[in-house]
């Protein structure tokens, strides 16, 4: 697929506005057809490809994913918080995919960008021109301040009844969002979390060593903490807003440990947690921000939670 062209706008012919766009297709001055910003010009070309990740398919199939919730039956609003740092390519694609898969849902996307030097904020501003500033909120910060503080910052600006947290790097495919929403409606859960470690879930694009590291980290945490969920280190979740506000204020970890602390403390507080199987896809564009220092922090965080929860 031409995912890079999706961002750079190198395609020779203009294409229709993407799904969810509220902007007029014609200029109010000249009456001529208006071209969408280059960041989304090629979006509608991409077709679903079975068994592929978000970056490969771009438009994403719905195989194995439940139907979209009916807006008339579900009057709730959803705030989707996406922290970013150097995600110029990915933020455009994931935004398109969210609008594609949540056409019948009332939602807003809150992008918390930590001063990305690659032009991520410029892309987000182009997206706002297409979808509207009421649907895409840019809440920038001057520098990298940590994942936990990014969620707190985004939560302050969330107007939804529910809050979704997900990564910008296409590891979390928006095609699963309807399943998250439906699961919450059916069960009344306070939290719905995506899991790689139940039937129907999995990982795509990791080498054997990384799979063993991730699985081992989860098994170790399960053994020590008994959190009542199968995927402690996942970061694709839907929360009732009031629950997230309660849980996040009781967490003190930073970085990737923050996700684990949130789900452990939510479990200790007795909140109803449900799981949805997902396939985690390794990032297609950009470089991973997980390294040796994060692994050390994880082990420190595990010890901390063992003695404080």
Give the pLDDT band of residue 267 (cuts 50, 70, 90): very high
CB 44 within 8 A of CB 16: yes
pLDDT category, 21, cuts 50, 70, 90?
A: low
The pLDDT assigned to 277 comes to 98
Q: Could you identify the residue written with the tokens 């690659």?
A: 118
Q: pLDDT of 173-228, one tens digit each?
A: 999 999 999 999 999 999 999 999 999 998 887 778 777 877 788 888 888 888 88
- With b for 16 or more beta-carbon neighbours within 10 A and e for fewer, the 106-133 pattern comes to ebbbbbbbbebeeebbebbebbbebbee
Locus of tokens 């985004």: 154
What pLDDT does residue 296 have?
81
- The domains of the chain, with CATH numbers, are 3-308 (3.90.550.10)
pLDDT digits (tens, 9 = 90+) for 40-97: 544 444 333 434 455 555 434 434 444 555 554 578 999 999 999 999 999 999 999 9
pLDDT at 17: 47
What are the two backbone dihedrals, phi and then psi, of residue 22, each rounded to the nearest 5 degrees? -105, 0
CB contact at 8 A, 282 and 179 = no
The predicted structure's pLDDT at residue 16: 39
Strand partners, 204: 281
List pLDDT tens digits, range 124-166. 999 999 999 999 999 999 999 888 899 999 999 999 999 999 9
Strands 191-195 and 136-138, sheet pairing:
unpaired
Query: In this prediction, what percent of the chain has a pLDDT beyond 90?
Result: 52
Q: What pLDDT score does 185 carry?
A: 98
CA atoms within 13 Å, Cβ hemisphere of 133: 3
What average pLDDT is seen over the chain?
A: 80
């Amino acid at each position: 697929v031409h995912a890079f062209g999706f961002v750079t706008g190198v395609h020779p012919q203009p294409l229709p506005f993407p799904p969810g766009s509220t902007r007029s297709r014609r200029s109010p001055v000249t009456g001529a057809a208006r071209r969408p910003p280059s960041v989304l010009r090629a979006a509608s070309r991409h077709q679903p490809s079975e068994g592929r990740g978000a970056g490969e398919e771009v438009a994403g199939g719905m195989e194995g994913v439940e139907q979209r919730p009916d807006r008339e039956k579900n009057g709730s609003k959803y705030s989707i918080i996406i922290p970013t740092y150097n995600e110029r390519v990915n933020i455009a694609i994931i935004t398109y995919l969210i609008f594609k898969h949540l056409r019948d849902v009332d939602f807003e996307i809150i992008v918390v960008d930590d001063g990305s030097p690659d032009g991520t904020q410029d892309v987000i501003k182009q997206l706002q021109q297409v979808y509207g500033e009421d649907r895409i909120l840019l809440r920038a910060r001057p520098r990298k301040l940590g994942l936990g503080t990014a969620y707190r910052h985004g939560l302050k600006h969330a107007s939804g009844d529910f809050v979704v947290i997900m990564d910008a790097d296409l590891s979390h495919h928006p095609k699963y969002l309807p399943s998250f929403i439906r699961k919450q409606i059916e069960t009344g859960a306070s939290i719905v979390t995506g899991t790689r470690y139940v039937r129907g879930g999995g990982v795509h694009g990791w080498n054997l060593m990384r799979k063993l590291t991730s699985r081992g980290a989860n098994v170790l945490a399960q053994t020590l903490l008994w959190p009542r969920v199968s995927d402690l280190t996942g970061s694709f979740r839907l929360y009732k807003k009031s629950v997230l506000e309660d849980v996040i204020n009781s967490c003190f970890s930073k970085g990737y440990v923050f996700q684990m602390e949130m789900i452990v403390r939510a479990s200790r507080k007795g909140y109803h947690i449900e799981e949805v199987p997902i396939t985690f896809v390794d990032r297609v564009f950009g470089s991973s921000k997980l390294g040796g220092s994060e692994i050390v922090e994880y082990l420190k965080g595990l010890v901390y939670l063992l003695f404080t929860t």
